[in-house]
Amino acid sequence: MDKIPIYSPRQVSAGSFFGGPIALVYFLHNNFKRLGNNAAAAQTLLWGILFNIALLGAMILVPAKHFPHYVLPLAYSLAAQGIANAKQMKKEAIVDSPQFCFQSNWRVLGFTVAFLVGTVLLWFPIIFVLFQFHIINPN
């Protein structure tokens, strides 16, 4: 029997930090689906969409000059790692599992890059329009 690959909590955290908040939703959602928890997978999508909207709003309101750029990604990637540890499987549980194995790090890297590019392509036009109408100010 083939083992089902899932993302470890560290893979979820790293992918979320470098791939952005949409990647966070993907990694957690994918794990819940592979673990057979479809209700949690659906909840992850709902809360993930709301989180991404709230995060975009927070980024608009936070003064860029006085706020380190890494704080928000660090916070949400650590939160994602905590969710993966608490609600999914810890690294040790994946190692000991006869049913599950680790997802490839190359796959994590590929999705991380894809989601980073996707996030930039999605958010850039929104932020650009907000700059154009002086809703947010880069200074």
pTM metric for this prediction: 0.88
Q: What span, in angstroms and rounded, lies between the C-alpha atoms of 40 and 32?
A: 6
HEC secondary structure over 67-129: CCCCHHHHHHHHHHHHHHHHHCCCHHHHHHCCCEEECCHHHHHHHHHHHHHHHHHHHHHHHHH
Tens digits of per-residue pLDDT, 6-65?
Answer: 999 999 999 999 999 999 999 999 999 999 999 999 999 999 999 999 988 887 777 767
**Cβ pair 108, 5 in contact under 8 A:** no
With a cut of 90, say whether residue 124 has pLDDT above it. Answer: no
Tens digits of per-residue pLDDT, 58-96?
Answer: 877 777 677 788 888 999 999 999 999 999 999 999 999
Question: What is the model's pLDDT at position 137?
Answer: 67
Question: Which tops the pLDDT comparison, 134 or 29?
Answer: 29
Task: Calculate the dihedral angle through the C-alpha atoms of 16, 22, 25, 30, rounding to the nearest 10 degrees.
Answer: -90
Question: What is the model's pLDDT at position 134?
Answer: 76
HSE-up of residue 17 (Cα within 13 Å, Cβ side): 14
